[in-house]
Structure 1
């Protein structure tokens, strides 16, 4: 919400308030995608034998529907509607960074701990 508000404010200051509104809509579509991903992963992994193909099909269908919605908005309300595409793209980038950074930190701390343990083991 804050990012959408800042985007709309910034666009309004540049004289393109509707680009900011569509940017916020794109962020909302990205959030919907993230919620649907979480729901589908929970549902699929709760099964006794989860299938990768079920997850892949679910992801493809979800991304296709949301992409068509975003592109339709961008086309119908062009050029301001392109803000939707930018909002969706920014949300996905933020989502990827917010999930990969903790994993990278954990891997580094594990490697550093392993390196120290290995060094101590060599000394004894």
Structure 2
């Protein structure tokens, strides 16, 4: 199964990761920057797996929206729980993984919302 990948978000988050690592290096918090980039990577992996699941479920006649919502919710819970465990075990720098996950979710939401708001005008 192939899923088309839009490369613009990947390029944007790689650029953001480079900026985050540079700022964290200047602030002498390089490990926090690495965890922040790991959180953004986890968010991207979750978005990609959700896209793969949506393609797989849309091709199956017996699956429905409930199955997609359940698998997406379970995957998001597992990713968030694992990020929380990592952040607690490696605090204070480990909290960067949660910040990265939140930053990815906010950026992804804005990426979807901005064209909708432009179309509403």
Name the TM-score, length of structure 1 as normaliser.
Answer: 0.81
CA distance in 2, matches of 1:46, 1:2: 34
CA distance in 2, matches of 1:107, 1:41: 26
CA distance in 2, matches of 1:48, 1:55: 13
Which position in structure 1 is the counterpart of 2:118? 105
- The change in CA–CA distance for 1:103 and 1:50 in structure 2 (over 3 A counts) is farther
1:75 to 2:97 alignment: no
CA distance in 1, matches of 2:18, 2:105: 18
Match among 42, 47, 50 for residue 34 of structure 1: 47
RMSD: 1.2
Which position in structure 1 is the counterpart of 2:71? 58
What runs of 5+ residues in structure 1 fail to find an aligned partner?
Answer: 109-124
1:45 to 2:80 alignment: no
CA distance in 2, matches of 1:48, 1:106: 33
CA distance in 1, matches of 2:47, 2:69: 15
Higher normalized contact order (CA 8 Å, seq sep 6+, divided by chain length)? 2
Which position in structure 2 is the counterpart of 1:13? 26
Which position in structure 2 is the counterpart of 1:91? 104
Report how many aligned residue pairs link the two structures.
108
What runs of 5+ residues in structure 2 fail to find an aligned partner?
Answer: 1-13
Name the TM-score, length of structure 2 as normaliser.
Answer: 0.83
Question: 1:50 offset after TM fit, Å?
Answer: 4.0
Q: Which runs of 4+ in 1 moved over 4 A?
A: none
